[in-house]
Chains A and B, each alone.
Chain A
């Protein structure tokens, strides 16, 4: 009886699946023309994008996909090209953008994006993505992009065997870190590896989250907590203390070189987003969990600071239907699971097939499901592009002056200038 039930159930499932499949092919079959996708995913990330495009082509064989990439780390060049194209009235059908304020502050405020809420409702995505995430990629007026992947920013990396050799443990708090740092230094080891200036911004956000806690951290970005407040000043003080235990040649190094320092045993820890896991497991062929270990950055256990790449739909594009079909592929379970294992990130959906991911990504996905989620500053979630640009300048000044008061005052001034805080 039981087995018949099971079989019946399976058969129904399969028929539903088959019908759904034929439906989707029928629906997609009539799409024709072109689709231009604009991104900065060349190089290491190219194959992941190709996997998505292949999936799209399978569903919509009639569409010719134009893959327009402009290289350059975190899209510095691509964004400039995109701006000239948008200003010139020649938007690509869909473009890559960091989810959150980087999109909202620049393009949504300029009224150049279409609201994607209807697509989210039609596809039933409203409860497929975490609620915190949908809040962060939307405003009161709508939802503005489809997130393709999730990276975690607040991760501390280390080599377990080395820590054992040096007789230290991964610190749970910054106070712990400061107490073990002299011990490491005495052994000729750099306590914390740091790289070029944007990684200082990256470290700062993890320190800020640790010092302030998620509630106050969120309030920084709504303007409820002033950057000049004594709380925020404590972030800069702690940040300055941590910088004392970093390598002096930081600004000459790429983030990969900072990771290398940890892998080679020159440094004990490194705080970097989880693309570092991709670098270590894919490029350096290290085994996650065995050859390298990780923990939430100090004082941020139970909080997941995320950043996401996403695609939006500009107004007035030539191939709107094709672009919408593209967004539907991106938000689908298959789309997420085709792209992310290759990219080294987790799917933004709550129902992804974890079997396809490696040990690190599985643990990240587990945290993503149950942790408090906050947005990253250095990667465009919490603040608009104006603030991010000015913050890089403030950081440059601080790296030289190490003056916490000046740092927090300047941060407040740029927050006012960029409309995040009001006096």
Chain B
């Protein structure tokens, strides 16, 4: 009897938050997905009772293969580079700073605060500062002048150059090649573990995919009727620098806590065995930071999808070169009144975030289950 009442109370206590989350989180996600499959955004988009016809996945097809949505595709490519460089840059710098501070230099506390401080600024503030620093005729570009060198000529945020270009038409082939490389790596991994038969099988599959990707020009469809070149826009570099500057202090704090958490006797044992500083960090400290690195990657990668305000502050709304899908979503929805297309961009972003978050949730859930057992 008491057990049942306990359960009832538990359900009642949870009910409000379940209802609220169901409505305000999942309900709205569902609504956004629905809107993205309509054509809301024609003539009188803002009428009291706007006309919405169901069009299925048309908006998504337009985004990836439509003539007019090249901006979205460039933004998507930008987003990949933003995420990659923000995560890699913050991890590298953060680790470097953490190792420096771990060795108890003078004024350690002071430097800790200095490095962590940028995190407490909002993206808007740091974006505005960096915008001035990166102005073509001021800030960073004139620094060399003070030591007698010529002024830098890089245009930073207004650069129109692109490197690492590829043709969006051949995206399917590129994807196949990328998948084949992943498969090949997995096959090597399996071979290394000793099961030769499955390893060889997976390897053959990998080579097959690679061959299709490289030679199967006519086998795979071109998804656009015209050539469209995208790549790493040099205009994004300034924004990446600003983001790394802001977040490396944060990873530093994470790593420093990890380094400090390593049991002292382990450190001492390493020293007694004659490990050099380099060997200690390489063989002992950094491998022990793996779980922290994983959560840092998760946190940073979803922060990298929310870089909207930094870009807005640094380049304004229409610097197409440095754009990001989140910025485009805002403009498409609230400036152009194309609510359906805006919603479909939002859904693409949502899926991207899910790719980062879901494995993390699954693994931490499994970890907890394992701990309970």
Q: Is A107 at the interface (CB under 8 A from chain B)?
A: yes
Query: How far in angstroms is the closest Cβ of chain A from B102?
Result: 39
Residue of B nearest to A76 (CB): B317
Q: Is B45 at the interface (CB under 8 A from chain A)?
A: yes
Of residues 187 to 214 in A, which have CB atoms within 8 Å of B's CB atoms?
196-198
Asked if residues B156 and A400 are in contact (CB atoms below 8 Å), the reply is: no
Partner among A112, A249, A389, A419 whose Cβ is within 8 Å of the Cβ of B331 = A389
Asked if residues A385 and B47 are in contact (CB atoms below 8 Å), the reply is: no
Residues A251 and B43 in contact in the complex (CB < 8 Å), given A389-B331, A389-B336, A390-B68: no
Q: Is A327 at the interface (CB under 8 A from chain B)?
A: no
Residue of A nearest to B71 (CB): A393
Distance in angstroms between the alpha carbons of A68 and B320 in the assembled complex: 31
Distance in angstroms between the alpha carbons of A87 and B320 in the assembled complex: 29
Distance in angstroms between the alpha carbons of A87 and B67 in the assembled complex: 31
Q: Is B77 at the interface (CB under 8 A from chain A)?
A: no
CB < 8 Å A-B pair total: 106
Q: Is B89 at the interface (CB under 8 A from chain A)?
A: no
Cβ of A87: which chain B residues have Cβ within 8 Å of it? Answer: 46
Residue of A nearest to B155 (CB): A249
Asked if residues B47 and A396 are in contact (CB atoms below 8 Å), the reply is: no
Residues A417 and B337 in contact in the complex (CB < 8 Å), given A109-B43, A110-B47, A252-B158: no
Cβ of A385: which chain B residues have Cβ within 8 Å of it? Answer: 335-337
Partner among A83, A197, A417 whose Cβ is within 8 Å of the Cβ of B334 = A83
Cβ of A197: which chain B residues have Cβ within 8 Å of it? Answer: 316, 318-320
Q: Is A413 at the interface (CB under 8 A from chain B)?
A: yes
- Residue with the greatest number of chain A CB neighbours at <10 A, chosen from B46, B160, B319, B321: B46
Cβ of A80: which chain B residues have Cβ within 8 Å of it? Answer: 330, 334-335
Q: Is A106 at the interface (CB under 8 A from chain B)?
A: yes
Residues A397 and B137 in contact in the complex (CB < 8 Å), given A111-B47, A389-B335: no
Q: Is B307 at the interface (CB under 8 A from chain A)?
A: no
Cβ of B317: which chain A residues have Cβ within 8 Å of it? Answer: 76, 392
Asked if residues A397 and B320 are in contact (CB atoms below 8 Å), the reply is: yes
Cβ of B331: which chain A residues have Cβ within 8 Å of it? Answer: 389, 392
Q: Is A53 at the interface (CB under 8 A from chain B)?
A: no
Cβ of A107: which chain B residues have Cβ within 8 Å of it? Answer: 46
Residues A386 and B68 in contact in the complex (CB < 8 Å), given A110-B45, A249-B137, A251-B157: no
- Produce 1/0 per residue, A166-187, CB < 8 A to B: 0000000000000000000000
Asked if residues A252 and B136 are in contact (CB atoms below 8 Å), the reply is: yes
Of residues 239 to 288 in A, which have CB atoms within 8 Å of B's CB atoms?
248-252
- Provide the main secondary structure of the chain B interface: loop
Distance in angstroms between the alpha carbons of A16 and B41 in the assembled complex: 52
Asked if residues B68 and A252 are in contact (CB atoms below 8 Å), the reply is: no
Q: Is A79 at the interface (CB under 8 A from chain B)?
A: yes
Q: Is B44 at the interface (CB under 8 A from chain A)?
A: yes
Q: Is A395 at the interface (CB under 8 A from chain B)?
A: yes
Distance in angstroms between the alpha carbons of A248 and B155 in the assembled complex: 8
Q: Is A228 at the interface (CB under 8 A from chain B)?
A: no
Q: How many residues of A contact B (CB 8 A)?
A: 37
Q: Is A414 at the interface (CB under 8 A from chain B)?
A: yes
Of residues 377 to 423 in A, which have CB atoms within 8 Å of B's CB atoms?
385-386, 388-390, 392-393, 395-397, 399-400, 410, 413-414, 417, 419
Of residues 316 to 357 in B, which have CB atoms within 8 Å of A's CB atoms?
316-321, 330-332, 334-338
Of residues 78 to 99 in A, which have CB atoms within 8 Å of B's CB atoms?
79-80, 83, 86-87
Asked if residues A252 and B43 are in contact (CB atoms below 8 Å), the reply is: no
Q: Is B48 at the interface (CB under 8 A from chain A)?
A: yes
Cβ of A251: which chain B residues have Cβ within 8 Å of it? Answer: 157-158, 315, 319
Distance in angstroms between the alpha carbons of A393 and B317 in the assembled complex: 10
Asked if residues A79 and B334 are in contact (CB atoms below 8 Å), the reply is: yes
Partner among B46, B48, B71, B134 whose Cβ is within 8 Å of the Cβ of A397 = B71
Query: How far in angstroms is the closest Cβ of chain A from B192?
Result: 46
Distance in angstroms between the alpha carbons of A397 and B318 in the assembled complex: 11
Cβ of B158: which chain A residues have Cβ within 8 Å of it? Answer: 248-252
Q: Is B258 at the interface (CB under 8 A from chain A)?
A: no
Asked if residues A79 and B157 are in contact (CB atoms below 8 Å), the reply is: no
Distance in angstroms between the alpha carbons of A362 and B131 in the assembled complex: 38
Q: Is B181 at the interface (CB under 8 A from chain A)?
A: no
- Provide the main secondary structure of the chain A interface: helix
Q: Is B70 at the interface (CB under 8 A from chain A)?
A: yes
Asked if residues A109 and B44 are in contact (CB atoms below 8 Å), the reply is: yes
Cβ of B136: which chain A residues have Cβ within 8 Å of it? Answer: 248-249, 252
Residue of B nearest to A266 (CB): B137
Distance in angstroms between the alpha carbons of A83 and B47 in the assembled complex: 11
Residue of A nearest to B320 (CB): A396
Asked if residues B137 and A396 are in contact (CB atoms below 8 Å), the reply is: no
- Residue with the greatest number of chain B CB neighbours at <10 A, chosen from A83, A395, A419: A83
Asked if residues B156 and A252 are in contact (CB atoms below 8 Å), the reply is: yes
Asked if residues A106 and B337 are in contact (CB atoms below 8 Å), the reply is: yes
Distance in angstroms between the alpha carbons of A197 and B68 in the assembled complex: 19
Distance in angstroms between the alpha carbons of A249 and B138 in the assembled complex: 12
Partner among A110, A392, A395, A410 whose Cβ is within 8 Å of the Cβ of B68 = A410
- Residue with the greatest number of chain B CB neighbours at <10 A, chosen from A87, A385, A393: A393
Cβ of B337: which chain A residues have Cβ within 8 Å of it? Answer: 83, 106, 385-386
Cβ of B44: which chain A residues have Cβ within 8 Å of it? Answer: 109-111
Asked if residues B67 and A83 are in contact (CB atoms below 8 Å), the reply is: no
Q: Is B186 at the interface (CB under 8 A from chain A)?
A: no
Distance in angstroms between the alpha carbons of A417 and B68 in the assembled complex: 9
Q: Is B135 at the interface (CB under 8 A from chain A)?
A: yes
Residue of A nearest to B156 (CB): A252
Cβ of A390: which chain B residues have Cβ within 8 Å of it? Answer: 68, 336
Distance in angstroms between the alpha carbons of A410 and B228 in the assembled complex: 14
Asked if residues A414 and B46 are in contact (CB atoms below 8 Å), the reply is: no
Query: How far in angstroms is the closest Cβ of chain A from B177?
Result: 27
Distance in angstroms between the alpha carbons of A396 and B70 in the assembled complex: 11
User: Can you report 8 residue pairs joining A to B where beta carbons are below 8 Å apart?
Assistant: A106-B46, A110-B47, A110-B48, A196-B318, A249-B158, A386-B41, A386-B337, A393-B320
A-B pairs with lowest CB-CB distance, top 7: A396-B320, A389-B336, A249-B136, A251-B158, A80-B334, A110-B47, A197-B318
Known: A80-B330, A111-B44, A396-B321; 11 extra A-B contacts, CB below 8 A, are A76-B335, A79-B334, A83-B337, A110-B44, A248-B136, A249-B135, A252-B134, A252-B156, A385-B336, A392-B318, A419-B42
